[in-house]
Amino acid sequence: MPDQADLARMRRSYRRARLDIPDVDADPIVQVRRWLAEAVAAGLREPNAMVLATAGTDGLPSARTVLLRGIDARGFAFYTSYRSRKAAELAVNAQAALLFPWIDLERQVAVRGTVAKVTAEESDTYFASRPRGSQLGAWASEQSAVVAGRATFEQRLDELRARLAGAAVARPDDWGGFRVTPVEVELWQGRRDRLHDRLRYRRDGEGWALERLSP
């Protein structure tokens, strides 16, 4: 187990790339899609994994890793139970932050924005694309609720498998997607001596202002 001194010595010098304003697209969504494609091409594990941070009425933030399931001009989409903790917090504070930690590329993307549910049609389409086990799991689990033990929802899952054998699994009404519409997107590229490159897109009317931040 590493002690405090071991942790203090854990460091690496970032040297893979550099980043400047002329290197990036004027549209942050286009640029994030470009970096995502490079993460996929590099063989990164779960390149679409992103940390989602939310906060409820108490102001205390919570974070978890979710998977990006859609990216277009409207923003970044993910799917979850509408009874989950994240959904409860978004219901009272429809703002969130995202972080893509592409560590092997010495890169990260940080997003801040507003959040709204995707359409029922979008949720239906995505739910239909999920593996059957995941579809059944959405019915079996009351996400974020306290449960006596794993056997509780495993028994529920077995009952669902038996009852729905051979039948299509419909999307639960309390399960679907959210979309984060960005107001700010930051690109981070690691550099030597912790003098990292940071470029920030900031919503400016109908367009974007692009600026460099100090490391």
Question: What residues are labeled active site?
Answer: 194
**Apex 103 CA angle, 49 and 60, nearest 5:** 60
Q: Give the whole-angstrom CA distance, residue 209 versus residue 203.
A: 6
Q: Give the whole-angstrom CA distance, residue 86 versus residue 96.
A: 10
Q: Give the whole-angstrom CA distance, residue 2 versus residue 14.
A: 23
- Bridge partners for 132 per DSSP: none
- Strand pairing report for 49-55 and 61-67: antiparallel
Q: Give the residue among 162, 166, 120 at the shortest CA–CA distance from 140.
A: 162
3-state secondary structure of 55: strand
